[in-house]
């Protein structure tokens, strides 16, 4: 089982050192997130550094908000996703990751229109507007669901992908994003159902964890929260998915331990 890691990449980073640290911790691939954007120079430098250390760049992200397209909550407006897609060939990558989005004033804020026809149609139009550039780059848009966003539940995600019916659109398999805290006591039931619903549309798998801090959702490295990893990994094994898999929300100094944590569960169920 080959694991990659999602990391933030900044223009001022020593990319050779970063790539060396990734490879030395046993990872074979990178999901590069660009919180300050990315130009052709940065893409070339990252591609060279990764190639030198035997790493592939399997995905990049700007995590735009399609429902508030002029904002850049995590580095990119929706229009700037077009620029990132244009950079994929320089990195020999195919996947671009984004949120499905929220009308709320904050990226993770609830809004009633997120779960109605207005949000659904706005996301559908935004995704379809990307089809020409995705086609030119032979790229795949991977939508990362979240429980307050338009795509908030596995059944909704599956319905959206079925309606879009495009080889250019896939989803991130990421249980913490689709499990509101009130459902955490029911993970053993909900995770297998969610994975089963999403299996035809999964483009990437993300391994992170979830916990509460002062009553609010907080991301955590794998093994530092309450995600039912046994249920998650068993569901992946049962689905026979073969897509890139990444550790996320994990500093490099904790990455080796996070990788070992995930691999231990994978080996226990003979996930390869």
pLDDT of residue 269: 81
**What are the pLDDT digits (tens) for 108-160?**
999 999 999 999 999 999 999 999 999 999 999 999 999 999 999 999 999 99
Distance CA 26, CA 262 (A): 13
| E strand map for 148-194 | 169-173
pLDDT of residue 268: 87
Cα 264–201–256 angle (5° rounding)? 25
Residue-range domain boundaries for the chain: 4-268
Beta partners for residue 209, in sequence order = 220
Q: Please, are residues 55 and 27 in contact by the beta-carbon 8 Å criterion?
A: yes
Beta partners for residue 211, in sequence order = 218
**What are the pLDDT digits (tens) for 68-81?**
999 999 999 999 99
* Closest by Cα among 252, 243, 174 to 207: 174
- Strand duo 245-247 + 169-173: pairing: unpaired
Distance CA 195, CA 232 (A): 8
pLDDT of residue 54: 97
Structure tokens at 43: 């893409």
Structure tokens at 199: 């299996």
**What are the pLDDT digits (tens) for 171-223?**
999 999 999 999 999 999 999 999 999 999 999 999 999 999 999 999 999 99
Reported as a pLDDT band with limits 50, 70 and 90, residue 270 is confident
Reported as a pLDDT band with limits 50, 70 and 90, residue 27 is very high
pLDDT of residue 71: 96
Cα 76–77–81 angle (5° rounding)? 70
The CATH H-level superfamily of 4-268 is Divalent-metal-dependent TIM barrel enzymes (3.20.20.150)
Does the pLDDT at position 272 exceed 70?
A: no
SS3 69: coil
Does the pLDDT at position 162 exceed 80?
A: yes
**What are the pLDDT digits (tens) for 32-69?**
999 999 999 999 999 999 999 999 999 999 999 999 99
């Amino acid at each position: 089982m080959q694991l990659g890691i999602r990391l933030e990449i900044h223009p001022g980073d020593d990319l050779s050192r970063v790539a060396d640290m990734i490879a030395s911790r046993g990872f074979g691939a990178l999901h590069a997130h660009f919180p300050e954007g990315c130009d052709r120079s940065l893409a070339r430098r990252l591609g060279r550094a990764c190639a030198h250390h035997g790493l592939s760049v399997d995905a990049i992200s700007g995590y735009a908000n399609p429902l508030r397209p002029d904002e850049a909550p995590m580095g990119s407006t929706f229009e700037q996703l077009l620029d990132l897609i244009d950079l994929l060939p320089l990195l020999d990558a195919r996947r671009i990751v984004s949120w499905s989005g929220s009308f709320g004033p904050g990226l993770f804020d609830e809004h009633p229109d997120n779960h109605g026809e207005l949000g659904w149609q706005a996301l559908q139009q935004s995704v379809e507007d990307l089809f020409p550039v995705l086609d030119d780059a032979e790229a795949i848009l991977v939508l990362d669901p979240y429980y307050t966003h338009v795509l908030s539940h596995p059944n909704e995600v599956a319905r959206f992908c079925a309606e879009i019916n495009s080889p250019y659109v896939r989803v991130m398999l990421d249980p913490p994003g689709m499990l509101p805290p009130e459902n955490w006591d029911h993970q053993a039931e909900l995770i297998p159902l969610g994975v089963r619903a999403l299996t035809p549309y999964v483009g990437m798998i993300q391994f992170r964890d979830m916990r509460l801090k002062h009553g609010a959702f907080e991301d955590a490295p794998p093994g530092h929260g309450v995600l039912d990893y046994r249920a998650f990994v068993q569901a992946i094994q049962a689905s026979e998915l073969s897509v890139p898999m990444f550790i996320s929300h994990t500093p490099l100094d904790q990455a080796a331990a996070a990788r070992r944590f995930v691999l231990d569960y994978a080996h226990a169920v003979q996930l390869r």
